A = this chain, B = another copy of it.
Amino acid sequence: MAQNIYDKPEFFAGYSALPRQVHGLAGAPEWPAVRAMLPDLAGKRVLDLGCGFGWFTRWARENGAARALGIDLSQNMIARARADTTDPMVSFEIADLEKLVLPRAGFDVAYSALTFHYIEDFGTLAATVRQALTPGAHFVFTIEHPIFMAAAHPHWLSDEDGRKTWPVNGYSREGERRTDWFASGVLKYHRTVATTLNSLIGAGFAIRQVEEFAPTAGQIAENPDLAEEVERPMMLLVSAQR
């Protein structure tokens, strides 16, 4: 079972104050890039894996989806997600993605944001998602980039010219990584780019687009703190199709 750090009070308090939780999709700098990778949602049944407060789940419905289901392990998050909508075609369920059971061909689009790095066995999850999708359906997700996750001590360094530099080690050693992020010992699972893509291909998906998020010049002008994201990607964005 995935570690349910999100229901620890100190974690939840810190996490809830993140710009992307306060402002929703508009608070996530990668959102324009992710949105450009999404298919038209009109009339589609949309699945949101690791939905958190349900920002995307509700957005999907507001942007034409016939139905939208958000799933998350966190009772706190699902409670707030449910409280934030009265739309009967938007629903939220508590479930562990590592033990997920989904109706066959029950969805036309699957989406996930920054969740799969909490999942140990991505191949099984990819197969579960694939059987839940209709032929031609898109599966679009973001995940922490393995360049960001690999190192034993992931933090900025300076190179000999003073340039912000990110350390990589243990890249080929997949598995547990522990970091301190609002709480100590948050458990994540490092996988190479190759393993993520090969797991999708092995489950029967075609890779349609891969992005390694970097902010645009306009985004950096508006928010100079984003400049460091050019030095190393924090997020991998993938569009696959059944």
Contact = CB atoms under 8 A, between A and B. Distances in A.
B159 A152 contact: yes
B167 A165 contact: yes
A163 interface: yes
A25 B194 CA distance: 23
Given A170-B231, A193-B193, 9 more contacts: A159-B167, A159-B169, A166-B167, A167-B167, A167-B168, A171-B230, A172-B214, A198-B211, A206-B207
A190 to B, nearest CB: 12
Given A161-B152, A212-B193, A168 B171 contact: no
Given A159-B167, A168-B147, A171-B147, A201 B212 contact: no
A230 B161 CA distance: 27
Given A147-B147, A151-B159, A153-B160, A170 B210 contact: no
Interface in A56-101: none
Contacts of A178: none
Interface string A207-218: 111111010000
21 contacts: A147-B147, A152-B159, A152-B161, A157-B167, A159-B167, A163-B170, A167-B167, A168-B168, A168-B231, A171-B212, A171-B230, A171-B232, A172-B214, A172-B229, A172-B230, A172-B231, A197-B197, A197-B207, A198-B210, A198-B211, A207-B207
A29 interface: no
Interface of A: 147, 150-153, 157, 159-161, 163-173, 192-194, 197-198, 201, 206-212, 214, 229-233
A165 B232 CA distance: 15
B168 A165 contact: yes
A33 to B, nearest CB: 11
A176 B80 CA distance: 49
Contact of A169 (B152, B214, B231): B231
A13 B217 CA distance: 44
B163 A152 contact: yes
Contacts of A167: 157, 159, 165-168
A178 to B, nearest CB: 14
